[in-house]
Amino acid sequence: MTGPNLLARLRTLLDEASASFWTDAEAYAALADGQNAVIYLALGLYRAKKFAIPNQDVPLSPLLQPLFTTVTATVNSGLSTATLAAVPLELIWLKYNHNAGTPLYPARVRFQSPASEFKAANSFLVATTASGEYYIRFTNPVITFDTASTNNAATYLAGVLAQATDIGASQASVIPDNCVPAILQFAFARCLSKDLRTSDSQAAFNSFIQFAQGVMG
């Protein structure tokens, strides 16, 4: 839904047809925060599912799919780190080749915990034509490869969830329209808190939670 349409709906909830107590900038900021709140809830659910069923595919919900994009870059010879140009919400997958541009092999994230370190040390993956896999560490936005680049054409391709663009006068919401009620209720609660209407703000936030739960998928 377009930014102006969302703004008009929010002003209807506020019973304020045009900017007076709440400026357009404040209203758009509240709408952007509402969009992010829905996204973060969906992302938390995605992470929980990955943790609950490790080593299995966990599909992205329709809510998160519009944020998915791919980024690619080369890694200079001798280096084992790369920094993503834009800080993503989440790294979904990564492929890498330390010695040439292609083919790209899948990488596994190596978590910093005693159990995962032990597992990695005892089943370390080395990229070959038979077992083309790598271990990486990911500290957003820095990727650390366990195998340093040996070729200036070393390449990686990452699938990430990008940060959502803020809702504004010329920027629509980037997540599906079934999320609009949740976005509006969060923004409504945020605006009411400025007016010190604590109980009304809490009621709107409770409505946000209910609407958000309905679109998590």
How much is the pLDDT for 98? 86
Q: How far out from the chain centre does Cα 49 lie? A: 15
Q: Tell me: do 185 and 156 sit in the same domain.
A: no
Distance separating alpha carbons of residues 99 and 128, to the nearest angstrom: 11
- Kindly report, residue by residue over 154-168, the tens digit of the pLDDT: 889 999 999 999 999
How much is the pLDDT for 157? 93
How much is the pLDDT for 130? 46
- Kindly report, residue by residue over 115-144, the tens digit of the pLDDT: 666 665 565 555 554 455 677 888 999 998
Residue 167 falls inside a structural domain: no
Residue 60 falls inside a structural domain: no
Q: What is the model's pTM?
A: 0.85
How much is the pLDDT for 99? 84
Residue 26 falls inside a structural domain: yes
Count Cβ atoms within 10 A of the Cβ of residue 28 and give its class: 0-12 exposed, 13-18 middle, 19 or more buried. buried
Residue 70 falls inside a structural domain: yes
Residue 33 falls inside a structural domain: yes
Q: Tell me: do 42 and 122 sit in the same domain.
A: no
Q: Tell me: do 156 and 74 sit in the same domain.
A: yes
Nearest of 119, 120, 122 to residue 134 by alpha carbon: 120
Q: Tell me: do 14 and 39 sit in the same domain.
A: yes
Q: The domain containing residue 15 runs over which residues?
A: 3-53+175-215
Residue 8 falls inside a structural domain: yes
Residues in the chain, pLDDT under 70: 17, 19, 54-55, 111-133, 217
Instruction: Give the number of domains in the chain.
Output: 2
Phi first, then psi: what are they for 209, rounded to 5°?
-60, -45
* Neighbouring C-beta atoms of residue 9, cutoff 10 Å: 18
How much is the pLDDT for 74? 86
Could you tell me the CA-to-CA distances from 97 to 102, 138, 140, 154, 187 in Å, in that order?
Answer: 7, 17, 20, 6, 45
